[in-house]
Chain A
Amino acid sequence: MIDFVLTENDQKILDSVRAEALVCRKYARYYDEHEDEFAPDELEEAKDFPPTMSLFGNRKDDDTSVAIMSMLLSAGQCWGDYTVRMRRGSGGLGNAALRAAGTPEQVEKWGDTTLAMAITEPGCGSDPSQVQTTAVLDEATDEWVINGEKIFVTTGCRCDGVVVWATLDRAAGRAGIKSFVIEKGIPGFEVTHKEKKLGIRADDTAAMVFTDCRIPRSNLLGGKEEIPKASSGGFRGVMKTFNMTRPAVAAIGLGIAEAALDFTREHLKEAGFEVEYGGSLQSQPAVVQKFHELEGLYEAAMLTVMNAAWLSGEGKPNNVEASIAKAKGGSSVRQITQGCIEILGPMAVSREHLLEKWFRDVRITDIYEGTGQVQNLIIARNILEYDRTELK
């Protein structure tokens, strides 16, 4: 059944997440300005709030699927703040890869640790098939020897380990790329640098170097050592991770963008402009028209996120829809936060308010997990039925 109205149960969960988020927001400015400190694993106020997952206790059949709810929860949390959480959950992007590609033993072993994901290198970002980090098997010791450099690794400093993309054979191209779990503390693994950024400053983004770093043979994610011939099936396997993370990244950005919209609506009202929807567009003042435009972008983008999640929850392929959500989310949050500042004028760029921070924070949405252009490439190839040699 096509339906877009949340149930009472759904709403209760989202309300509770919003209440938490408002508490987190109180700390937002502090950690923006103190980027060398980490936000606490648990806020003092956590005792007053039940853990989010406990709210999922008695779901009914007509409640919204967990796949969609997870997107709304991410958005709700980031509506408070991107980084500060009531309780910092364990798990990073690497955990999504572990769940998608790991063997049951691997999931058992690392499931409760926080794993970062290291794909990007100084010389390659959008085109991960150019990964230069190497993995060589030492048959004598049953170990992989990893050499290379990774940059822009989210939670690279705080994580317990990293899922690293490395190639077994550069000549094999994409097919030669495998992912490996490398735990912190192993000799030859060094975190070398923490980046200073435009936004999401409280998030740690690290560079790391692997020098003859030896890890057990069983740390190859998924366990398949052979290089598939000519087919890119294996690579597609690792890329599958993105089918839920891409919409999630969009949801995160949209949560922040919604905070910007709420702030703008409130201040428009203070200035005597009530946002209404009954009359024709032309009958509205220019600032309200602009606000309607931004709200439309928010709604549209959030719906594409929900659609990608819905498909995933139904067990249907959602590769294109995940890219649509990421592309639409990424471009919308930029326009929304830029537009909110345009509407409110000079007051909006004061650091007394969080709007300028939200404007900086959302900018990453259209970059990581595949840039907007990369998403468009995926969508275009799909609708044109082109492969990556025909459209690049």
Chain B
Amino acid sequence: MISFGPNEEQEIVRDAMREFAEQALRTVGRECDESASVPDDLLQQVWELGLTATQIPEEYGGGGEDRSPITNILVLEELAYGDASLAAAAVTPSLFANAVLDYGTEEQKAQYLPLFTGEKFHAASLAMVEPGALFDVLNLRTKAEPKGDGFVLSGQKSFVPLGDRAQHFLVLAHNTAQDGFEGIEAFIVPRDTKGLTISEPEKNLGLKGLPTVGLTLDRVEVAAAERLGGEAGIDARRLVAASRTAIGAVLVGMSRAVLEYAIPYAKDREAFGEAIAKKQAIAFMLSDMRIEVDSMRWLVWKAASELEHGLDATRSAHLARVYCAREGMRIADNGVQVLGGHGFIREHPVEMWYRNARTLGVLEGSVTC
């Protein structure tokens, strides 16, 4: 059935997240961008919202609520409306936890899920992106070669969120025995593993409030038990689709932030004797943003709905991500234009959103739903 109505619970969660995003994230987003860091107490504050724990089954100490990609993208849009970097930081542990929940063996679930249901923030991350031009998840350069019962991992990763503090990494690598999505495997690699080198925090264009690192895997040996999903492996198609859908949701939230910032500014700012908003050139940039925020959001919802039904969301997620990347960039671009010279100055957030939009548009694996 096609329906655009969130259920009551989702509406409550959404309202709560909106309020949190405005009060706790928007207010510190600029500071985190300038210092290229995220404070531990902020992560702890976010942790207490239970984003990761709520959908973990009770037997592992979680909230036992249904695993719902739709609820998660509603949450992400709101958090990203506050601040995209901090939204990504907030759900980084879920990159690891949700994958274990969705694809892990019983032993893996029992071992790792309880880490995410405690009172203290637990940092864990996903290492998908790789350095070098034209990153493509279907052509991973990090290789997993079978050795005995286990594997040997070699390669490099970049843009690993919260890698400065993550205790565990879920490393995606190409198992050379197969191609395409079937050849993608995920391995649990603890921070202190031999052969793993973690770089200093990377210096990025945008999403600066989300510290990221590079990983070098120099013949890292992993046991069979650390291969996520065991013999069955993971459903990489689904994992990638969830990531693309989630990036779309972050771009929706960010784009809405631009629109809602630009409207009062344009009504207030005068040129040639009247508010600039009264000129169609400006007014139509704003109406166009309004149209595109809706368009983006529905594409993301559609992909999330397919994920929720357990369907193959590859097409919808890809179209949503590509669309949101393009339109999110255009919205942020016009956001700067509406503010004119003031849009170029770091006193206003639009220049930060402009950098964030470009960054988000090319990222995969930094968020999930």
Contact = CB atoms under 8 A, between A and B. Distances in A.
A1 interface: yes
Contact of A383 (B287, B298, B314): B287
B2 A279 contact: no
A277 B290 contact: no
Interface stretch (B35-43, B96-104, B153-161, B318-326): B318-326
Interface in B234-278: 237, 240, 259, 263, 266-267, 277-278
A33 interface: no
Interface string A334-350: 00000000000000000
A193 to B, nearest CB: 33
A327 B318 contact: no
Contacts, number: 164
Contacts of B318: 277-278, 281, 292
A282 B138 contact: no
Contacts of A295: 319
B237 A278 contact: yes
A368 B284 CA distance: 19
A237 interface: no
Interface string A44-67: 000000000000000000111100
A240 B280 CA distance: 24
A215 to B, nearest CB: 39
A384 B299 contact: no
Given A295-B319, A304-B295, A380 B3 contact: no
B203 to A, nearest CB: 23
B360 interface: no
A6 B311 CA distance: 12
Contact of B306 (A4, A64, A281, A314): A4
A235 interface: no
Report the interface size class on chain A: 35 or more
B5 A280 contact: no
Which of the listed residues A62, A64, A376 has the most CB atoms from chain B within 10 Å of its own CB? Answer: A376
Contact of B319 (A5, A7, A277, A328): A277
Given A279-B136, A303-B299, A307-B4, A4 B314 contact: no
A306 interface: yes
A18 B240 CA distance: 33
B70 A278 contact: no
Given A278-B237, A283-B139, A376 B305 contact: no
Given A283-B134, A299-B299, A391-B278, A278 B181 contact: yes
A64 B1 CA distance: 4
A2 interface: yes
A383 B290 contact: yes
A62 B2 CA distance: 9
Nearest to A324: B291
Given A280-B137, A293-B326, A299-B299, 7 more contacts: A2-B7, A2-B70, A5-B305, A5-B311, A301-B295, A324-B290, A327-B287
Interface of B: 1-7, 10, 70, 134-139, 180-181, 237, 240, 259, 263, 266-267, 277-278, 280, 283-284, 286-288, 290-291, 294-296, 298-299, 301-302, 304-306, 309, 311, 314-320, 322-323, 326, 364
11 contacts: A1-B7, A2-B7, A4-B301, A279-B136, A279-B139, A293-B322, A303-B299, A304-B294, A306-B298, A310-B3, A311-B4
